[in-house]
Amino acid sequence: ACNLASLNLMKFVDDKGELDVSAFQAAVNILILAQEIIVGNSSYPTPEITKNAIDYRELGLGYANLGALLMSRGLPYDSDEGRAYAGAITAIMTGTAYEMSAKIAARLGPFAGFTKNREPMLGVILKHRAAVKEIDTNYVSDEIMAAAADSWDSALAWGEKYGYRNSQVSVLAPTGTIAFMMDCDTTGIEPDIALVKYKLLAGGGMLKMVNRTVPEGL
């Protein structure tokens, strides 16, 4: 079941060019709650997929416009700096999402398959939490690193107590068409393929898209 949503990272950049962590986390919480509500209100193509979706309640929160965000900060896409910054943002998003999932579980109970998968799932959460320490702090602000660490500490603490409402909360899905609808310069997590792009439309015609992040990068 594809229960996907994406956040445009550039919408969370403040006037100083820094990521607004609190706004980003607030958006993650809202989308996880909305996606969780959708699980039980969606229709699925087969009985098997329906049962799996209801029992495990997999969600796929992700982001788009990473290439533009790195460009706006003057960070090369293929660089240690770029990977560290992307890793920290991803850690905040997924840690916050699991924390929210556990808070929903506190009210509604964990997903049906949690009890038999409790130890392996908590093991995965522990591995994610430990991986935050591998992010190179030379390239990421103290505020962002603190938010990443805190989100996983909370995700683990809430999960140990209440379990999780969702067996999975995030995925970096391709965001071709919806990224254009969200006014992104770059789709998904990839860099821009060109500063000027052309897209043929299925119904005829063509879109000409010009990257608008270059001035910020410069």
CA 182 – CA 15 distance, rounded (Å): 20
Tell whether the model's pLDDT for residue 202 goes beyond 90: no
Distance between the two ends of the chain, CA-based, in angstroms?
42
pTM: 0.93
- Give residue-wise pLDDT tens across range 38-66: 998 998 999 999 999 999 999 999 999 99
Least-confidence region, from 93-97, 148-152, 186-190 = 186-190
- Give residue-wise pLDDT tens across range 167-176: 999 998 776 7
CB atoms within 10 A of CB 47: 8
Residue-level pLDDT at 172: 87
Give the 3-state secondary structure of residue 212. coil
Task: Compute CA 72 distance to the chain's CA centroid, rounded to the nearest angstrom.
Answer: 19
